[in-house]
Amino acid sequence: MQVSLELNGVTKLFAFGDGVREVDLTLARGEIHALVGLNGAGKSTLMRLMLGMKIPDSGTVRLDGVPFDRVPLERWMRVGHLIEYPLAYPELTTRQNLLLSARLRGLTRRKAEEAGNAIIEKLNLNKFAGRRVGKLSLGNRQRVGLAAALQHEPDLIILDEPTNALDPAGVILLRNVLLERAAHGATVLVSSHHLDEVSRISHRITVINGGRIIGALEPGQPEIERAFFSLVQTHSETA
């Protein structure tokens, strides 16, 4: 297993004790790794720590073996992420937003236009390419946010609840893109409440509860929801 991102003993606490505690986790190249937990379990906090959006109180985070404070900007340009809400300029069209996002990640204008056209096709956004993002439905704004995160073919992808607001067709389109990126060696981490969906595409499923990693689920196992709630309940009763 080629490790892409590694967390060792990572702790980040907020007021009232919320946050994550002593997390050890590795993400591998070519792997789709799912992070599942109840609301408030610490998924979003952990993902922000993985992206350098928050600094741990203790522990280390390494990208390609390099501590975060020494990771060059050029490496971050090969990362794609969507945390909680899609970021887009509502007054700009879908295509304009994608062009801007790609240019900020260092693509030339020609490459940015090509990348935008390709992801518009893959996520079936053709109909909305010329429309202002502020006029789109919540589900289509989510697709635009995902398109911006994925269009530059990143080799590290971190997505927080990416299927939120997506219809079944959008879920399938996203699934295909993530499987394609992983097949090309990208590292993919997704958090989700949809256990059936992550079970279909994930190589590993990690469970977090109360800010701690408490175990794992086997992708494709029968009655995965029951197994998840049993694990969480047991941890909550003994914590």
How do the pLDDT tens digits run along the chain, 239 residues long? 798 999 999 999 998 888 999 999 999 999 999 999 998 899 999 999 999 999 999 999 999 999 998 999 999 999 999 998 788 899 999 999 999 999 999 999 999 999 999 999 999 999 999 999 999 999 999 999 999 999 999 999 999 999 988 999 999 999 999 999 999 999 999 998 889 889 999 999 999 999 999 999 999 888 999 999 999 999 988 87
Q: How would you label 161-183 residue by residue, b for 16+ Cβ within 10 Å and e otherwise?
A: bbbbebeeebeebbbebbeebbe
Please name the CATH architecture into which domain 1-78+155-165+181-239 falls: 3-Layer(aba) Sandwich (3.40)
Q: What integer pLDDT is reported at residue 116 of this predicted model?
A: 97
194, 200 Cβ separation under 8 angstroms:
no
Q: What integer pLDDT is reported at residue 17 of this predicted model?
A: 80
Task: Count Cβ atoms below 10 Å from residue 87 Cβ, excluding itself.
Answer: 14
Beta bridge partners of 72: none
Domain(s) labelled CATH 3.40.50.300 in the chain stretch across 1-78+155-165+181-239
User: Which residue blocks in the chain are alpha helix, DSSP H?
Assistant: 43-50, 73-76, 94-104, 109-122, 138-150, 168-183, 195-201, 224-238
Question: How distant is the alpha carbon of residue 66 from its chain centre?
Answer: 20
Q: What integer pLDDT is reported at residue 41 of this predicted model?
A: 93
Task: Count Cβ atoms below 10 Å from residue 129 Cβ, excluding itself.
Answer: 17
30, 86 Cβ separation under 8 angstroms:
no
Spell out the CATH class of 84-153. Answer: mainly alpha
